[in-house]
Structure 1
Amino acid sequence: MKKYYYLLSIILFNFQAFAQQDTTAYAAQRVKVNSLLAERSAKFGQYDESLNQRTGIFGWQTKRDIKNSNEILRQVVLTDNNIFKELKILMDYKDLQNQQKVAVADHSQERIENYMRTIKKLQDQNTELREQIDKKDKNKSLSTYIIVFLILVMGGGFYFFSKKLKNYEKRII
């Protein structure tokens, strides 16, 4: 019995560790997306600053300023692409979690239905056994009545026979 208890404990612990691993992976993915969003925000701030930067004569933007702004904007776009990729992974984790919840719910529903079928089957067997017991009790009471009736008939027959025998003996004597 202890072996089964230990085995069940180990299985439940492993299942909990697996579920925790999924949750940990999801949390790590969220941290990664949040860091990418923070990085994008910082780069967009740099881009905004670069647009206001005017190092040319008479306060005009130079070609280098425009190239710098375009490079920062390109990095923002690359960061956006990375964010979309990581969000896709995050959504896949969420879908996986939802699928696991649905699978657990389906499994639980199936178990409940099996329990209900088993209970119904046992109730039917219980009803059938009660009917058999009632039938046997009726047969016992009927046989008891028949036995009592036969004993009374035999007792009455013996009484009348013995009375006739005494009368016959009195007549003979």
Structure 2
Amino acid sequence: MQSLKRLSILFLFLISLSASAQNADSTSFEAQRMRVNKLIEDRKVKFGEYDMSLEKKTGIFGLFKSKDDMQKTIDILKNIVITDNNIFLETRRLISIKDDEKQKFQNLASEYDKQVSAYMATINKLQKENEKLKKELNNIDSGDKSTNIFLYIALGIIAVLGYLLYQNQKITKG
């Protein structure tokens, strides 16, 4: 019973350790996720600017796009492509963090499983040793009982012999 309490306390301790490790990993994951979300928001803003620049016509009488309008549209499009590349890179990091977390938890689970198995094996070994010692104690107690019986028989024989000797001396004197 005591060993089960110790095992459950150990198990709770291991869970608390993994929870604190998970909090640290979750923090970096959340920070990375926020970076990706910010990049996506930046892309939305830039794409809105791109739509507006497509509509903008400052050429002759506002009917045509000027060279500056075209260059601004191209620059905005370049920024969108750069932002997209950053989104891909940051998303790849985010996936890497998640994969690392997954691998870490699998390793922790495997390690905890090995530890729990080792503890269970130790508990089983101790239980078997305890049973063996109980049997030895019972054998010793049984041996003591048989020794006590032999002692009582010997004392009875000595008492009978003593009585017979006493009677024999009484007869020879008398």
Alignment TM class, shorter chain as reference: 0.7 to 0.9
Aligned residues: 156
Q: Which amino acid aligns with 2:53?
A: S
Q: TM-score, normalised by structure 2?
A: 0.76
Are the counterparts in 1 of residues 32 and 94 from structure 2 also a CA contact under 8 Å? yes
* Residue 19 of structure 1, CA deviation: 7.0
Indicate the larger mover: 39-48 or 91-100.
91-100
1:131 partnered with 2:145: no
Identity %: 32
Change (3 A) 1:97 1:118: same
Matched residue, 2:80: 76
Q: TM-score, normalised by structure 1?
A: 0.77
1:90 partnered with 2:94: yes
Deviation string for 1:83-131 (max 9, x for gaps)?
0001101111121122222222222222211111111111111111111
- Equivalent positions of 1:58-69 (< 5 A) are 60-62=63-65, 64=67, 65-69=69-73
1:168 partnered with 2:154: no
Are the counterparts in 1 of residues 58 and 66 from structure 2 also a CA contact under 8 Å? no
Unaligned runs of 5+ in 1: 1-15
Change (3 A) 1:129 1:100: same
Matched residue, 1:120: 124
Q: Which amino acid aligns with 2:98?
A: K
Distance in 2 (CA, whole Å) between partners of 1:148 and 1:142 is 10
* Residue 47 of structure 1, CA deviation: 0.9
Indicate the larger mover: 72-81 or 53-62.
53-62
1:42 partnered with 2:45: yes
Distance in 2 (CA, whole Å) between partners of 1:17 and 1:146 is 67
Deviation string for 1:23-68 (max 9, x for gaps)?
5543432332222112111110001111222334475442633443
Are the counterparts in 1 of residues 57 and 65 from structure 2 also a CA contact under 8 Å? yes
- Alignment partner of 1:55: what SS? coil
Q: Which amino acid aligns with 1:124?
A: K
| 2:115 aligns with one of 106, 111, 114 | 111
Change (3 A) 1:54 1:19: same
Indicate the larger mover: 26-35 or 72-81.
26-35
Distance in 1 (CA, whole Å) between partners of 2:127 and 2:23 is 41
The structure having more radius of gyration, on CA atoms, is 1
Indicate the larger mover: 29-38 or 77-86.
29-38
Matched residue, 2:6: none
Q: Which amino acid aligns with 1:38?
A: E
